Amino acid sequence: MTHTSLASWLSYIESQHPSEIALGLDRGNKVFARLNLSRPKKQVITVAGTNGKGSTCAMLTQYLCSQHHSVGTYTSPHFLDFNERIAVNNAPCDDGLICRAFEAIEAAREDIPLTYFEFSTLAALWVFDQSELDYWVLEVGLGGRLDSVNMVDTDVAVVTSIALDHMDWLGDNIDVIAREKTGIARRDKLLISGVVNPPNGIATTAGEIGAQLRQKGVDFSFQRESDTWSWSGNGIQYENLPIPSLPLQNAATVVAVLVYMGLAPTSADLITLFSTAQLTGRFQQVASSPEVYIDVAHNPEAAIELAQRIGYLPRRPIAVCGMLKDKDIASVMASLADRFSAWFCCDLKGARGAQAVELMKHISQASSDSGLQMQAFPSVRDALNEALSKAKAEQRAVIVFGSFVTVSDYLALGQSKE
């Protein structure tokens, strides 16, 4: 079948499997073998975790590129364009290259049904193979050991954090989820765990696999001072590092990955990295008058991180919030309800979108302020307009958060104004 555009291909691959999510490697492995894809010249780095995967991949990619290595990076989901998922040397691939990848996959798969994510992952691996790169940085989409990125055995496995999320797919307790995510590791290969208070499942699974485990709090550690932070591990000490715009605990994990891989970053290299590293939608400042931040925080662990970030602002900000109803809304609001001076909640479209009134119910239950301002809106646009007006009058910041969908809607608004 011939498709003349990336949009046409994406519409087609969305229709090729009855389930949006179908964990397992059998289908993808068969097609992967038929494509006869190679490996990078140096190493594959695979990153799993409940939170922090995207920022970890971004910092690793930026560092490797800064050292003049060629790097392919695969992440998900995207905000506006599918091309965001497949990057070479930190730049999204063009439509033509991705279309050629889909053509190769379609020819190889024959009658094997592939999910959207399997098509996407194979496309990334095909692009990276064609580009003859030094490193591949692969973000796990969902879970760990059964995710499509495991079609390629990793050289360095990274687990950023473990929390309850996607329980219908991964299990209903922390230890089971830890086992799933740690399952990306391979025998005699590095496994870097950035998990704080790690469950036993990490070390147990690493031992069963035979991976070389290095854990935060055991093999390496970090400490924040006032405006700087330090890292120590493997006989190496870094001090007076700048506080990054991305989560500090993920920055500490990135340093561990680089150190234990033997790349020996200098203090100057790390200062440059953490002074400049950023990622769309991770407490990213996108406007200044008034200040507007966007954040994809959508689960309890991410909400705690966001609450800490808010603590460094001079005044309580205003929330523009939209969430998906299959997320733990109550726990998110328990961390954030009283961190904002006002809440402008919005409906999200689609079967998974939560209604604004549902968010407000959870905010009311979690807040100690009986007079907290809350208002429901039918869209991100409507909530944002009201929030910006109030922010200008009160000289406060606005934080748009709650879901990739919410942040994508905000970014689409900005694009439409250009």
> What confidence category does residue 50 fall into, taking pLDDT thresholds of 50, 70 and 90?
confident
Range 95-117 average pLDDT? 95
pLDDT of amino acid 17:
61
pLDDT of residue 176: 82
What was the pLDDT predicted at 18? 57
Structure confidence at residue 169 as a pLDDT band (50, 70, 90): very low
In a domain, 1, yes or no: no
Q: Are 30 and 55 part of one and the same domain?
A: yes
Q: pLDDT band for 15, please (50, 70, 90 cuts).
A: confident
At 268, is the secondary structure helix, strand, or coil? helix
User: How big is the chain by its Cα radius of gyration, in Å?
Assistant: 21
Is pLDDT at 78 greater than 80 in this prediction? yes
As a whole number of angstroms, the distance between CA 29 and CA 207 comes to 25
Which stretch of DSSP H or E encloses residue 181?
Answer: helix 174-182
Question: Quick one: pLDDT band at residue 1, thresholds 50, 70, 90?
Answer: low
**Contact (CB, 8 A) for 135 and 64:** yes
Same domain, 239 and 344: no
Which residues contact residue 25 at a Cβ distance below 8 angstroms, ignoring those fewer than 6 apart? Answer: 146, 148, 150, 151
pLDDT at 166: 46
Q: Which of 289, 345, 352 lies closest to 325 in space, CA to CA?
A: 352
Q: What's the CATH code of the domain at 122?
A: 3.40.1190.10
Checking if the pLDDT of 171 tops 50, the result is: no
Residue 23: which domain range? 6-276
Q: How many domains does the chain have?
A: 2
Tell me, yes or no, whether 316 and 412 share the same domain: yes
Query: Across residues 395-401, what is the average pLDDT?
Result: 97
End-to-end Cα, the chain, rounded Å: 36
348 touches 405 (CB < 8 A): yes
65 and 178 co-located in one domain: yes
Question: Are 84 and 118 within one domain?
Answer: yes
Q: What is the 3-state secondary structure (H, E, C) of 71-86?
A: EEEECCCCCCCHHHHE
- Same domain for 224 and 311, yes or no, is no
Residue located via tokens 């949009």: 7
Distant-in-sequence, close-in-space partners of 308: CB < 8 Å, separation ≥ 6: none
Q: What is the CATH number of the domain that holds 352?
A: 3.90.190.20
Residue 315 and residue 266 share a domain? no
Distance of alpha carbon 117 from the chain centroid? 15
353/267 same-domain check = no
pLDDT (tens digit per residue) in 270-303: 999 999 998 999 899 999 989 999 999 988 989 9
CA distance 304 to 317: 16
Overall average pLDDT of the 51-61 stretch:
95
> Is-contact 246 278, C-beta < 8 A?
yes
**307 belongs to a structural domain:** yes
Stretch (H or E) spanning 263: none
Is the domain of 352 the same as that of 212? no
Tokens of 204: 């147990």
- What residue has token string 């999320």? 165
Phi then psi for residue 192, to 5 deg, are: -100, 120
CA angle 42–47–49, rounded 5-degree value: 170
Considering the chain, what is the average pLDDT of its residues? 92
| pLDDT value for 351 | 86
Contact between 369 and 285 under an 8 Å Cβ cutoff? The reply is no
68 and 103 belong to one structural domain? yes
* Nearest-angstrom CA–CA distance, 29 and 121: 11
pLDDT at 91: 97
Phi/psi-derived region of residue 217, left when phi > 0, alpha when psi is between -120 and 50, beta in every other case: left
CB burial of 155-187 (b: ≥16 within 10 Å; e: otherwise) equals bbbbbbbbbbbeeeebbeebeebbbbbbbbbbe
Residues 302 and 271 in one domain: no
Question: What length is written for the chain?
Answer: 418
For 317-359, what is each residue's pLDDT tens digit? 999 999 999 888 999 999 999 999 999 999 999 888 999 999 9
Percent of the chain residues topping a pLDDT of 70: 94
